[in-house]
Structure 1
């Protein structure tokens, strides 16, 4: 049997409807030399019926395993995949029909071992999803370092919502070392440190649905903040000054709250800083989205993003410091 050029790796946890929409996009790919490997990672709401729907359309393998987290679910798929390259996709992604064409062109042109693409919002997304998408990619938040050709101080670090590796990379690294808490960034850094060439493929973008409400978004970004500290346990030098920006934002919020309670005049002055930042986000979002409703929601998204990330960063940083002190 001919080896496929690409194995599309999709871990799934209780998201059959999202998987259905992603597989529908994959069915329309113009480049046809691929297989799809779906890993059901301990779901209670499995995707068996969805898989049956697409089995006749393309080479599709479906595996069910006990829950072990997304990193190890991907490793499970790597062990069983047949392709020359593995492409990891989140189940809440949508693709253009030209996605694999763009990947194929870039790999051949740039001889990439490790690659990724950016994410965008789709016209069908809700206003909250679009506001979150703006916030996650804006230069006014931590999103300013996502989807860029150069990472802060080095090569592009692909993220697992849209990441590709060669089989050679997998065989050399053994896949993901940790299953959560920044597992994709740790993996990217480790691959690059071993000499593999990484690159961004701008036209190989996905439409990323992200979270559908601000509570879910808060929880996700709080986890991301913790993950940044977790990565520093493996690569201390990868904790850059820019990563402290959300922590400073969180600290500013706390200081403003305390000042409003005990020194109202100072508190009002500090609160003006939050208003100025929010206005910057609003006008930037207006320019970016051309939609006033999304721009208003973007104020909440940006503030939630930085506050939640900074809080998670502070909590995990304190936990790491206490652990090091005890040792």
Structure 2
């Protein structure tokens, strides 16, 4: 049995898989296998995988499209590793990733872990701005991989590992998509397994390449939160309402600015201050005025798109009773 099995679900992204596999070749810890699971793609990556068979212990599988959750299960079922690690296909993995994970697991009693994501220096300015927005305390509360995250840490499937016993007990993902990773993390914790954030086990996550794609993704994330609520009523926390409150607050401020300019101006002034803080924080962290400005735009898109998806799905849930 190998120590780690890396599961990579993929759908029509051969170029990204090539970059991901190239980064795995550089791992300093080498006791691992790679399973690439093609989820019914039209643009397959089997030829890409073939190029790495002399460099990696790698297997390729093709299956009918069923969504990323069930595709990860497909990989879990065929893996030989003691630990099962999932990466999104649009990630790049630092060379010391597995060495860091292995060292942490030896020193801590855990059954599941997750790591943060960062922007690589080769990413575009928009990708770096999106990365800031998706990891900032101002927009997410640190739930995606900050040591100051709110509550118990829930690993996310773009960078996540579980002991094989976790899969054997939980059965893996029960949703194909739309909040499937969060639902799985909740069940992992409810089954008594201990999770941990390994801060240094980060990946470079490409995310979306333009704001239009980013809007669609975050709108989907907003609907996914309500989908998780359908299964776990206790998992809808006050801070999950923040994007919707943010969205309604802007709409209210703009409306009042027409009828009651002073009151509307006060409300919009708070938003201006909020975005100024994001601009300053992003400027300090990215060391770029351009990326800082784009980070403000990305943060606005993230909160409004998520809020719209959240409200839309919540109203649908209420109507259905």
Asked if 1:293 corresponds to 2:253, the answer is: no
In 1, Cα distance between equivalents of 2:148 and 2:3? 27
Asked if 1:271 corresponds to 2:301, the answer is: no
In 2, Cα distance between equivalents of 1:36 and 1:201? 21
Q: Which residue of 1 aligns with 2:244?
A: 247
- Taking structure 1 as the reference length, the TM-score comes to 0.95
8 Å CA contact 2:214, 2:302 repeated in 1: yes
In 2, Cα distance between equivalents of 1:315 and 1:262? 27
In 1, Cα distance between equivalents of 2:179 and 2:251? 26
Q: Which residue of 2 aligns with 1:190?
A: 187
Q: Which residue of 2 aligns with 1:107?
A: 105
Q: Which residue of 1 aligns with 2:177?
A: 180
Q: Tell me the CA shift for residue 277 of structure 1.
A: 1.8
In 1, Cα distance between equivalents of 2:301 and 2:280? 17
8 Å CA contact 2:142, 2:150 repeated in 1: no
- Relative distance call for 1:231 and 1:252 in structure 2 (3 A) is same
- Taking structure 2 as the reference length, the TM-score comes to 0.96
| Aligned partner (choices 77, 82, 86) of residue 80 of structure 2 | 82
Q: Tell me the CA shift for residue 253 of structure 1.
A: 2.1
Give the CA RMSD over aligned residues: 1.4
Q: Aligned to 1:140, what secondary structure does the other structure show?
A: helix
Q: Tell me the CA shift for residue 48 of structure 1.
A: 1.7
Q: Tell me the CA shift for residue 274 of structure 1.
A: 2.6
Deviations 1:7-51 (A, max 9, x none): 100000111011000000101111111110001111111102211
8 Å CA contact 1:136, 1:143 repeated in 2: no
8 Å CA contact 2:6, 2:33 repeated in 1: yes
- Which 10-residue stretch deviates more, 246-255 or 293-302? 246-255
In 2, Cα distance between equivalents of 1:170 and 1:241? 30
In 2, Cα distance between equivalents of 1:235 and 1:150? 24
In 1, Cα distance between equivalents of 2:291 and 2:275? 13
In 1, Cα distance between equivalents of 2:267 and 2:149? 32
Q: Tell me the CA shift for residue 263 of structure 1.
A: 5.0
8 Å CA contact 1:37, 1:60 repeated in 2: yes
8 Å CA contact 1:68, 1:179 repeated in 2: yes
Q: Which residue of 1 aligns with 2:62?
A: 64
Q: Which residue of 2 aligns with 1:227?
A: 224
Asked if 1:282 corresponds to 2:279, the answer is: yes
Unaligned stretches of 5+ in structure 2?
Answer: none
- Relative distance call for 1:159 and 1:12 in structure 2 (3 A) is same
8 Å CA contact 1:225, 1:309 repeated in 2: yes
Over 6 Å off, 4+ runs? none
Q: Tell me the CA shift for residue 227 of structure 1.
A: 1.0
In 1, Cα distance between equivalents of 2:266 and 2:106? 56
In 2, Cα distance between equivalents of 1:281 and 1:166? 38
Q: Which residue of 2 aligns with 1:17?
A: 15
